[in-house]
Structure 1
């Protein structure tokens, strides 16, 4: 009996040891890693998507035709910036590419938090695609696929904006609850009722916020949102190269051809199999001239990358207001003069002195030279009318550039950088690339004309007051006699 008991114990011990060995040798399944959601970064990502939507819309057939026929044909652009269409289109292309590069930089930062190794390398892949056109992972979408992505991003942006408002409202409610809880001079029953009501509202508001988080970007993974952003950026760059004629011929923006079609060539994507990205619009250029070939060869000799070459195009020449850092100042100066010219009778001496203090030394010198020999009298109504017409003509082409400069700057200010641009104003439509000498000549002409009509209005006002006083004196004499 004792022997039998001992054998049972040995058998049990051996069996337990064997089970331990089997369990320890069996492979443990790795716990599946849960993809982290973007959380509060949803609002920044929604801002990036908004800008991508705006960029895509700016490359539409309609906007490309408007760029070709309207934007670069502005009278002010032709007068003080350039009348070279190829140069102006190059500036437009360079600015769009630069905006896309900045967006890609932000997406590259977000992509570092992805699990997909290909998405983590987005920055390098995009740089390679920009330089060589290689797309080994097939990130460029077809036209129909991109339109689907656009609708998806638009929906994400809208819902995420709603989430922001709901969270803000929840914060207001919670703040109100804390204030009520800290009030000591109210009746206990009234205070308790207010607290209960607010708590109930907060409960339902939290449910609404939770629902909106599920629908918005908040609960999406970094891989999901980065994939949408990355493919959109690749496609927008492909679209940009196509419509500006730098996709297939490997032109840089600076080598856009001088011979351009009257509008973008429009054809259905399914009827143009030779187009690599299956877009609706063809390139703005239509002819391959010898000049184009020489420019393309010069671009190929340049060792710098696509974005580096593009940045050089946006550097203003030394003869421009942008190079002199005067574009914003002159824009404000022109807008002030515009208001004064519209209502010269309302301009006081102090306002006139303030305007003069805004003038740089070069404009002051040219103004003094123009005003030499000008008489003190300004009583000719015909001459005043001619000056008004002349000033109106100058402001007709100069004022839009000044207002565009302010719009362009305000949309890129720190406070507005995460919001959707409200206009399609390009840098070439502002004073940034304006010739400094020509702009100052126009400003001087405005000042000379403003000086005359301002003095004319003052003399007419003084004359009217003098005649009124004489009439009152005459009436007083007649009444006293």
Structure 2
């Protein structure tokens, strides 16, 4: 039944659907999206074998934690798990909010899964990334975050340059050569900003962004199950 559902059929046609041009781009929300991607990356990295091993070692060897909380190792791991799940829920709620502006049906319904992961687990079965692909997606999100941070800085530079250019243009006594050179600087800076926008989530659609984040979260959830 699941294999023949509209939901599963849409999944296999999602690549074709993603080429539609009528989908809204993230735009200025790129800064919020980059922050969200950073949280997803951090949560994934926190669940690595190395970090989980370190967590277990710290719990076993922490006298203070045993005295203040409990001597039960499993109880302390449950506390860590609850903290991870709370972070997961907060990120998932933000993805749900973004999903409300999507065109493709599954992302509009992602809230149902977030509210009831058990009840809607079958609908989202198979959406998880394989390990190697998830690592590639993590690197992609890291690039998005870095580009967005740089975009913010370059926009500030551009605003200052444009303000200075307006002052020079308003001054009848401005040196003509200096004015031309400054116009070139502004043009180059605008091109830099355009390039960074193309490298950031700015021009990506809501559907593309939620697709990436939702599948990453489903992969993280599987990792949480495996670890704990």
Given the two structures, how large is their TM-score scaled by the length of structure 2?
0.83
Q: What is the SS of the residue equivalent to 1:113?
A: coil
Deviations, residues 280-300 of structure 1 (Å, cap 9, x unaligned): xxxxxxxxxxxxxxxxxxxxx
Q: Residue 72 and residue 110 in structure 1: after superposition, are their counterparts in 2 closer, same or farther (change >3 A)?
A: farther
User: Paired residue for 2:121?
Assistant: 134
Q: Does 1:205 align with 2:193?
A: no
Aligned CA distance change for structure 1 residues 71 and 166 (closer, same or farther; 3 Å)? farther
Q: How big is each residue's C-alpha offset from its partner over 1:198-236, in whole Å with a ceiling of 9 and x where there is no partner?
A: 222111111111122122211111110110000011111
Cα distance, 1:84 vs structure 2: 1.7
Contact 1:166–1:205 (Cα < 8 Å) also in 2: yes
Q: Is the 8 A contact 1:72 1:88 kept in 2?
A: no
Give me the CA root mean square deviation. Answer: 2.1
Q: Is the 8 A contact 1:108 1:123 kept in 2?
A: yes
1:140–1:127: structure 2 CA closer, same or farther, 3 Å change rule?
farther
2:39 to 40, 47, 51: 51
Check the 8 A contact 2:46/2:52 in 1, yes or no.
yes
The alpha carbon displacement at 1:174 in A equals: 1.6
Decide whether the 8 Å contact of 1:37 with 1:220 is kept in 2.
yes
After the TM superposition, which segments of 4 or more aligned residues of structure 1 sit over 6 Å from their partners? none
* 1:293-346 residue CA offsets vs partner (Å, 9 max, x unmatched): xxxxxxxxxxxxxxxxxxxxxxxxxxxxxxxxxxxxxxxxxxxxxxxxxxxxxx
1:188 to 173, 177, 182: 173
Superposition pairs for residues 143-222 of structure 1, below 5 Å?
A: 143-181=131-169, 188-190=173-175, 192-222=176-206
Provide the rounded CA distance (Å) in 2 between the counterparts of 1:211 and 1:44. 19
One of 88, 92, 98 as aligned partner of 1:100 = 88
Q: Aligned match of 1:229 in 183, 190, 213?
A: 213
| Aligned residue among 212, 223, 226 for 1:239 | 223
* TM-score (normalizing by structure 1): 0.41
Q: Relative contact order (alpha carbons < 8 A, sep ≥ 6): 1 or 2 greater?
A: 2
Q: Which residue does 2:106 correspond to in 1?
A: 118
Q: Deviation of residue 41 (structure 1)?
A: 0.8
* Conserved 8 A contact 1:140-1:235: yes
CA distance in 2, matches of 1:72, 1:34: 54
Distance 2:199 2:21 in 1: 22
Residues 36 and 91, structure 2, Cα contact 8 Å, conserved in 1: yes
1:96 is displaced (CA, Å) by: 0.5
Of Structure 1 and Structure 2, the greater helix share is in: 2
**CA distance in structure 2 between the aligned counterparts of 1:95 and 1:169, rounded to whole angstroms:** 39
Q: Distance in 2 between matches of 1:132 and 1:69?
A: 35
Aligned pairs for 1:376-387 (under 5 A) are none
Question: Match of 1:86?
Answer: 74
TM-superposed CA distance for 1:71, in Å, is 4.3
1:168 CA drift (Å): 2.0
Larger gyration radius, structure 1 or structure 2: 1
CA gap of 1:175–1:65, structure 2 versus 1, over 3 A, is same
